[in-house]
Amino acid sequence: MENMIALTVDGISVEVPAGTSVLEAARKAGVHIPTLCYLKDINAIGACRMCVVDTGARSLQAACVLPAAPGMVVKTNTPAIRQYRKTLLELVLSAHDKKCLTCVRSQNCELQRLCRELGVEDGDAFKGVTNEYAIDDVSPSIVRDNNKCILCRRCVAVCSSVQKIGVIGPVMRGFKTAIESPWGLKLNEMACINCGQCITACPVGALHEKDDTAKVWAALADPDKHVVVQPAPAVRAALGEEFGIPMGTSVTGKMATALRRLGFDKVFDTDFGADLTIMEEANELIERITSGGVLPMITSCSPGWIKFCETYYPDFIPNLSSCKSPHEMVGAMVKSYYAEKAGIDPKKIVTVSVMPCTAKKFEAARPELGHDGMADVDIVITTRELARMIKEAGINFAMLPDGDFDSLMGESTGAAVIFGATGGVMEAALRTAYETLTGETLADVDFHGVRGTEGIKEATVNINGTDVNVAVCSSTGMAAKLLDSVRAGEKNYTFIEVMACPGGCVNGGGQPIVDSDTRATVDVRAVRAKALYGEDAGKALRKSHENAEIKAIYADYLGKPGGHRSHELLHTHYTRREKYTD
C-alpha cells in the first residue's frame, strides 16, 4: 500500500499507515511501551516520558508523539531505557502521597501497576519536599486531590479538547505546577458541567466521584425510612466489570438481586422511567411539530448536557425538552403514585438512584426537581459506588442468581434499555413517535442510522410522507459543533439527541474506570453499548408505549402524556447560568 510505513521495533518488522505513532506501531508489533500520560484519542503530549524510546536520534523520543518514519529502527527495551523509566517512576513517587492502601483507585491505578511491573523497589529513593494541597471536595460530583496528581493532564485534555469546557488546566510552573481551576477557584465555582470524564481519564486517585455511599448505608439502616432504589440503563452494561466479568456483559439480573440483598425496600428500574420519558417526550415532540413550537427539540436526559446548554448555549434553552430525566421521573412517581398505592408517607421514602453519571448528583440537588419540599431523588450513587457497596456488604456478585425488579415500576421495553447508548433515546422516541403519528406498526424497529459511536450522526426518517431530519451527538464538544451549525443556519433538524459523555451513558463519568492500555485497543463505548442493544433485541416489547406498567400509570394516575399531572410531576424548566460567578 502506498501510505504504509515499514519500520522495526525491537527487531520486529511492522507496517503501519503514515501518521501512526511509534507507540501504536510498537503495539502492532506486539511490543508494549509503558505510558502514564497517554490516553488514546484524548491525550498525546509526551509529558510523563515513560514511553521514551531510542531511535538513534540525539536524545530519546517519546513514542506517543513520535510519528513512525520509514526505515526507523526503534529500541524500546535497552538497559538504559529501563533504568530511566524506573528513575522516572521513583521521581513521580517522590511527589505523590503514596497513600495506596486507602486510595479509591488502589489496584486500579496505572501508577501503582507500572511501579510493580517495572520493578520499582524504593518509593522513597528520591525523598524530598512535596506540595501540600487542600482537597477540593466542594463540588457535589467531583473530588480533586492534587496530592495524588501526577500531572499527566489527561483530565485537562478531556475537559478542554473532548468536552470543550476547559475549566481546569495547569497553573504555576515547575515543581509547583498543579492542575486547578483559574484564580484558585473550586470546581463548583467554575462552569464545570460535572460530567466526570476527568475522573475516568485519571490514571491515579487524584480525581474521584463525591462518595455518597455513607448516606445510602445510613438510610438503609434507618428503620423509619423506606428506601427505594433504581439503576440506570447503562449501569447494567458495566457493573460486572468491577467484579471481573468481561466488558460488554449485561448483568441486569444479578444487579437486581444485589440491590435487594443490600437491603433496599423496593428495587425499581430507571428503564421504566425511560419508557415514561419517551411517552412524554414523543408527545412533546409531536405537539411542537403540530402546533408550531420551538424546533429542533433537544433531549434533556443528560444533566451534564443540560448544564452545558444553560451555561454555554443558553439561547437553546427553549429548544430543550421540558421532560425531566428518567430517574427524576421515577423519583417523582415513587413519592406520589407509589406512595399513594403503597400507603407510605412520601416523607419517609428515600429515593436512591444508581447512575453511570456524576452529573446526576448535581441534577438531583436542583431545587426545581422536587415536589412539596421533597426532592424527587434523594441520593445518587455511581456505578462505582454501588460496586463498592456490594463488595463492602460481602456479596459475591459473580455468583448471584438473576432477580427481577419490583412491579409497578419495574417493567421496561427494549426502547428504554438503549437509553444508555448514544442514539438510544432518539431511536426509542422515533419508535413511539412514528407509530403515534402514523397509526401504523413499525415493521423494523431498528434505526441503524442513529447507532454507533461517532460523535455526530444524522438521519432522515419519513413519517407520513414528510422527511424528518434528526441528529444525535455525544460529548459536549460535539454538541457545541452541532449547535454552532444549527445556529449558523447550516443545519435544519427537527429533533436532536445530546449526551454529554462521548458514546453516551455507557461511557459516563460514573462508570467503572478502564485503564489506558485497554482503552488503546478496545472501544469501551461500543462494547458496552452492544450489551444494551443485545438486551433490546432480546425483549418481547421494544416500544415504550407497549409497556403494560406505563399503560397502567397513565390509566390509573397520570391521565395522558403531557396532561396536567404529567406536567406537575414529570416536566421541569431550565435556568440560564453565567460562566463566571462573583
Asked if 411 is an active-site residue, the reply is no
Asked if 497 is an active-site residue, the reply is no
CB-nearer residue toward another protein: 96 or 366: 96
Cell for 192?
464545570
Which residue among the candidates 24, 241, 280, 284 is catalytic per the annotation?
284
DSSP code at position 84:
H
User: Least Å distance between CB 514 and another protein?
Assistant: 23
Q: Which residues, other chains included, contact 405 with Cβ-Cβ below 8 Å and sequence gap of 6+?
A: 256, 267, 268, 269, 272, 411
At which residue does the C-alpha cell 531511535 appear?
55
Which residue among the candidates 281, 310, 328, 546 is catalytic per the annotation?
281
User: Least Å distance between CB 318 and another protein?
Assistant: 34
Asked if 301 is an active-site residue, the reply is yes
Which residue among the candidates 64, 103, 152, 505 is catalytic per the annotation?
505
Which residue among the candidates 139, 250, 302, 321 is catalytic per the annotation?
321
CB-nearer residue toward another protein: 91 or 138: 91
Instruction: Please list the residues that pair with 13 across neighbouring strands.
Output: 8
Angle between helices 270-291 and 424-438 (to 10 degrees): 50
User: Least Å distance between CB 204 and another protein?
Assistant: 13
Segments of 92-192 assigned E as strands = 142-144, 169-171, 178-180
CB-nearer residue toward another protein: 69 or 537: 69
Q: How far apart are the first and last CA of the chain?
A: 58
Which residue among the candidates 110, 363, 385, 411 is catalytic per the annotation?
363
CB-nearer residue toward another protein: 78 or 464: 78
List of residues contacting another protein (CB under 8 A): 45-49, 52, 59-62, 65-67, 80, 83-84, 87-88, 91-92, 94-95, 126, 128-129, 150-151, 169-170, 172-177
Asked if 310 is an active-site residue, the reply is no
User: Least Å distance between CB 207 and another protein?
Assistant: 18
User: Least Å distance between CB 65 and another protein?
Assistant: 4
CB-nearer residue toward another protein: 37 or 483: 37
Q: Which residues, other chains included, contact 235 with Cβ-Cβ below 8 Å and sequence gap of 6+?
A: 255, 354, 355, 356, 383, 386, 420
Which residue among the candidates 86, 360, 457, 543 is catalytic per the annotation?
360
Asked if 360 is an active-site residue, the reply is yes
List Cβ<8 Å contacts ≥24 apart for 312-321. Answer: 312/165, 312/191, 312/476, 312/480, 312/579, 313/479, 313/480, 313/483, 314/576, 314/577, 315/487, 316/483, 317/574, 317/576, 318/294, 319/294, 319/295, 319/496, 320/574, 321/281, 321/284, 321/285, 321/297
Asked if 347 is an active-site residue, the reply is no
Integer Cα distance of 153 and 131 in angstroms: 17
CB-nearer residue toward another protein: 175 or 580: 175
User: Least Å distance between CB 95 and another protein?
Assistant: 5
Q: Around Cβ 424, how many Cβ atoms within 10 Å? A: 32
Give the catalytic positions in this structure.
281, 284, 301, 321, 360, 363, 368, 505
